[in-house]
Amino acid sequence: MAGTSAASPATERRVVWPGLGWLRVGLLAGLAGGLGAAAFNGLLGERVLGEAIRLEEAGASHPIAIGEPFSRGEQQGGMIVGELVLGAGLGLLLAGAALLAGTGFVGTARRAWLIIAGTGAWAFLALPAVKYPALPPGVESPLPIETRQLSYLVLVGAGLLGVVLARLASLYLRRWLRPVAAAIAFTLPALLALALLPAEQTVTAVDADLLVRFRAAALGSQAVFWTLTAAAGLWLLEHSLGASFRQGRGRRPRAG
């Protein structure tokens, strides 16, 4: 990797496959996304969340006498830590996916990053938002938490599986079969998961308006996360890996 060249000024700004540099790109990009999401939450999300909690506490049927181990302020600090841990975790997942897939499967560096980050947004954001939209504190689902967590993970898995299968189809099939099979492979696992996983049915909404605002805040937070992660990764691929990773003028891309 390091022996690529003492690069001439990289006018083309082509980025070669970063190899183990993916770890740094993924980790830093994920942390950037987490920081952005935490800022968004601090500005908007926490306000709606606080409203929901006050409403929950006002509904006396559910006394909060369980002894909360953390104050609200501590939980808000926990949100920031949580977004950073989440960012590091998802960033490492993206980096690991890039390393495992390799350039033969996902293409050149920047394209690979966009495909992988897009897949993450599809599997972790879009699909769960359709089937299990975010619930504020105080609004209980009729499903037990174990079922919802498992269903959430199956949904994420179905999203990832669809992308992998579609990529395999587009790599190994030819002519008209290629787009058809890729489209089916991409949508089928997601559609099956959406249809077969238990529905959340009627959630007893305390305040319909609050529910809508909370879901908008949660979607916004996740959209900020994935957009910033993708953008930061692209920037890092171009700027953080040192001159040896940049393709000099007139060189052929190293990897096909």
Partner 1 sequence: MAVARAVWLGTAVIRANERLVGGIALMVGAMLFYLAMLDQGQVAELLLASGLASGNHLHEFFHDGRHLGGVPCH
Q: Which residues bind partner 1 (CB under 8 A)?
A: 1, 19-20, 22-23, 26, 37, 41, 45-46, 49, 68-70, 74-76, 78-79, 81-83, 85-86, 88-100, 102, 125, 128-129, 132-137, 141, 145, 148-149, 152-153, 214, 217-219, 221-222
Q: Kindly tell me which of 129 and 206 has the beta carbon lying closer to partner 1.
A: 129
CB of 191 to partner 1, least distance (A): 20
Q: Kindly tell me which of 26 and 162 has the beta carbon lying closer to partner 1.
A: 26
Q: Kindly tell me which of 145 and 174 has the beta carbon lying closer to partner 1.
A: 145
Q: Is the distance from CB of 11 to CB of 247 less than 8 angstroms?
A: no
CB of 15 to partner 1, least distance (A): 16
Q: Kindly tell me which of 59 and 89 has the beta carbon lying closer to partner 1.
A: 89
Can you tell me whether residue 3 is helix, strand or coil? coil
Q: What are phi and psi of 252, to 5 degrees?
A: -80, 145
Dihedral sign for Cα atoms in the order 158, 163, 166, 168: negative
Which positions ≥6 away from 144 have C-beta within 8 Å?
A: none
Q: What are phi and psi of 115, to 5 degrees?
A: -65, -45
CB of 190 to partner 1, least distance (A): 16
Of all helices (H) and strands (E), which one includes residue 247? strand 246-247
